[in-house]
Amino acid sequence: MQTTARETLRSWLSRDHAEIDALLRAATGAERFDLDAFGQFRERLLRHIGIEERLLFPAVKRVHDGQLPASVAELRIDHAALTSLLVPTPDHALAEEIADLLARHNELEERAGGVYDECVAMLDDATAEALLRDASERRPVPTTKYFDGPGTVRTADEALHKARRARQIA
């Protein structure tokens, strides 16, 4: 049986999660925190979020009468929270907060009937193929120095609260 472009896109997104998770484990796997591995993790996670926010979700919205599945709203809050947790200088405690949030987030996307299944079901194979090509060619996201000043958050609860509050204001 031949694999469809939609199935390939879904698999690619899940495989990207696995690679990103491996980078986070590499950063925290030793007693000494590996800042270089975390930097690679940070860059890849931001790239992945960008692929979803700038490629996948807009494509789904175009073919679904300008609407996104309701489940995407919670993912967007998670994306904002995860992004804010990538701002301060990382350490083991911060990486654990990110890992916990990311595990829950990835489950929402990857589980049977989850967001990835919902989204790819709305696409035709030509659109999925174009998305896969664009996603694989997506350049790394430029990152800035870490910032530990006012407004930064270091726990998933704080980051989620801040992201939810921002969504209500917008």
pLDDT tens digits, residue range 83-97? 999 999 999 999 999
What is the amino acid identity at position 29?
Answer: G
**Percent of the chain beyond pLDDT 90?**
92
Q: Is pLDDT at 57 greater than 90 in this prediction?
A: yes
**This model's pTM is above 0.75:** yes
Domain ranges of the chain: 5-140+153-169
pLDDT digits (tens, 9 = 90+) for 34-48: 999 999 999 999 999
Whether 1 has a pLDDT exceeding 70, the answer reads no
Residue 12 burial class via C-beta count within 10 angstroms: exposed 0-12, middle 13-18, buried 19 and up:
middle
Measured in Å, how far apart are the chain's first and last C-alpha atoms? Answer: 46
CB 33 within 8 A of CB 146: no
Q: What is the mean pLDDT of residues 114-132?
A: 96
- For residue 7, the model assigns a pLDDT of 96
Supply the pLDDT for residue 170.
59
Is residue 33 a contact partner of residue 42, using CB atoms and an 8 Å limit? no
Nearest residue to 6 via CA among 71, 75, 63: 63
